[in-house]
Amino acid sequence: MQERQSHLHLVGIVGSLRSGSYTRMAVKIALRGAEAMGATTRLIDLRNYELPFCDGEHAQVEGYPDALRLRREVAAAQGVILGTPDYHGSFSGVLKNALDLMGFDEFGGKVVGLVGVSGGAMGTVNALNDLRKVGRSLHAWVVPQQAAVPQAGRHFDADGRLDDPDYEKRLQEVGREVARFAYLLTSKEMQAFLEIWENAMPNPGGEHR
Ligand SMILES: Cc1cc2nc3c(=O)[nH]c(=O)nc-3n(C[C@H](O)[C@H](O)[C@H](O)COP(=O)(O)O)c2cc1C
């Protein structure tokens, strides 16, 4: 694979509405990892989207331009970083509602990476595992690499810089991995390879005796 893929586009969704959110900082760092691979990125800060609560009707968003914008922006990306705070041992309701307003059109077949922050020392393992299950239900490919910053207030400064290069590296690696696999799934070269693969004889070497 070439190191730089100019056509690749990723979005990062911030699952916290808090003004000084550490989740936002973590998502930004993960997106920087994707940018280092040549991807263009967009930060989707749910603070800037007026969304209804999902009522189960796909068409309910018609009266909500921000909900349509959210769908459009996610649909335009080949990969998605989901960022969440730990809220009572899982991911945030704000993020879940945003995901419930979307579906296979936005996520099906897409590569997704997960990052999280928490106030406590236990981290966001449960939140990210819960989010991983949701990703499966959205028919997304959730990459195995994930990153969590526990006790986030102790590690981030006000400008979003981390005091520990290991956290920085792990967050960036999530972005890099999403970019890498999004490229693998969507590049012309891989599409051509898959076509050959799918049209190949079941056993080109002949029957085994
Ligand atoms: C409703 C709520 C529930 C929380 N539950 C937990 C928790 O179970 N474990 C934990 O470590 N931190 C918990 N926290 C702390 C947040 O994870 C922490 O403040 C985090 O930085 C919030 O993310 P943000 O900075 O992106 O807003 C909770 C915070 C809120 C507001």
- Outline where DSSP puts E strands in the chain: 9-14, 40-45, 79-85, 111-117, 141-149
Query: What is the per-residue pLDDT across 41-89, written as a single tens digit (0 to 9) for each?
Result: 999 999 999 999 999 998 888 899 999 999 999 999 999 999 999 999 9
- Evaluate whether 10 touches 3 at the Cβ level (below 8 Å): no
Rounded distance from Cα 60 to ligand 1 centre (Å): 30
Q: What is the pLDDT of residue 187?
A: 87
Fold for domain 9-199?
A: Rossmann fold (3.40.50)
**What would you measure as the largest C-alpha separation in the chain, in angstroms?**
68
- Find the 130 Cα to ligand 1 centroid distance in Å: 16
pLDDT mean over 188-207: 81
CB of 93 closer than 6 A to ligand 1?
A: no
All structural domains of the chain with their residue ranges? 9-199
The answer to whether residues 30 and 175 touch, using CB atoms and an 8 Å cutoff, is yes
- How far from the centroid of its chain's Cα atoms is residue 143's Cα? 9
- The pLDDT value recorded for residue 3 is 43
Buried/exposed 80-101: b ≥16 CB within 10 Å, e otherwise: bbbbbbbbeebbbebbbebbeb
Q: Find out whether the beta carbon of 16 lies less than 6 Å from any atom of ligand 1.
A: yes
Q: Identify the CA nearest to 111 among candidates 21, 192, 195, 5.
A: 5
Distance (Å) from CA 89 to ligand 1 centroid: 9
Residue with tokens 């003004």: 19
What length does the chain have? 209
Position in ligand 1 atom list of the atom nearest CA 89: 8
- pLDDT tens digits, residue range 113-167? 999 999 999 999 999 999 999 999 999 999 999 999 999 999 999 999 999 999 9
Question: How remote is the CA of residue 85 from the centroid of ligand 1, in Å?
Answer: 6
Nearest Cα residue to 105 out of 64, 132, 138, 80? 138
Q: Which pTM value belongs to this model?
A: 0.93
Gyration radius of the chain's alpha carbons: 18
Atom of ligand 1 nearest to the CA of 121: 11
Q: Is the CB of 123 under 6 A from ligand 1?
A: no
Q: How far apart are the CA of 44 and the centre of ligand 1, in A? A: 20
Question: Tokens at residue 104, please?
Answer: 């296979």
Mapped onto helix, strand or coil, the DSSP state of residue 121 is coil
Ligand 1 lined by 154 (C-beta under 6 Å): no
